[in-house]
Amino acid sequence: MSGVEGELAAVLQKQSATPARRLSLDEGKLKNGLGQLVLTLVKLLHELLEKQAIRRMEGGSLSDEELERLGTALMRQSEELERLRLEFGLTEEDLNLDLGPLGKLL
């Protein structure tokens, strides 16, 4: 056997002698973590929509009827986000991810 083949055989032998490691995953934590991520993204989109609505309102590009519909839709969306946040047992701070040097997300 050449040097490379011998090294490969040694590595394979060592791996087969090492017991397989199992990843211990808590389904509840995974579900909650995914819920936190999704709610964070939806909350971010909601805040962007609110800012865009304010810009359009200040720019005068919305009729009174459009303003009413937009305000109602944003209010319902906010209420649903709050309901889901409570359903997952998350706090407002849980939805404000720390992006390290970039600061907080929201």
pLDDT by position in tens, the chain (length 106): 566 666 766 666 665 555 555 545 566 666 678 888 999 999 999 999 999 999 999 999 989 999 999 999 999 999 999 999 999 899 998 888 777 777 777 7
Q: Which residues contact 96 (CB under 8 A, 6 or more apart)?
A: 40, 104, 105, 106
Look at residue 51 in the predicted model and tell me its pLDDT.
Answer: 93
Look at residue 71 in the predicted model and tell me its pLDDT.
Answer: 93
Look at residue 31 in the predicted model and tell me its pLDDT.
Answer: 63
Look at residue 7 in the predicted model and tell me its pLDDT.
Answer: 72
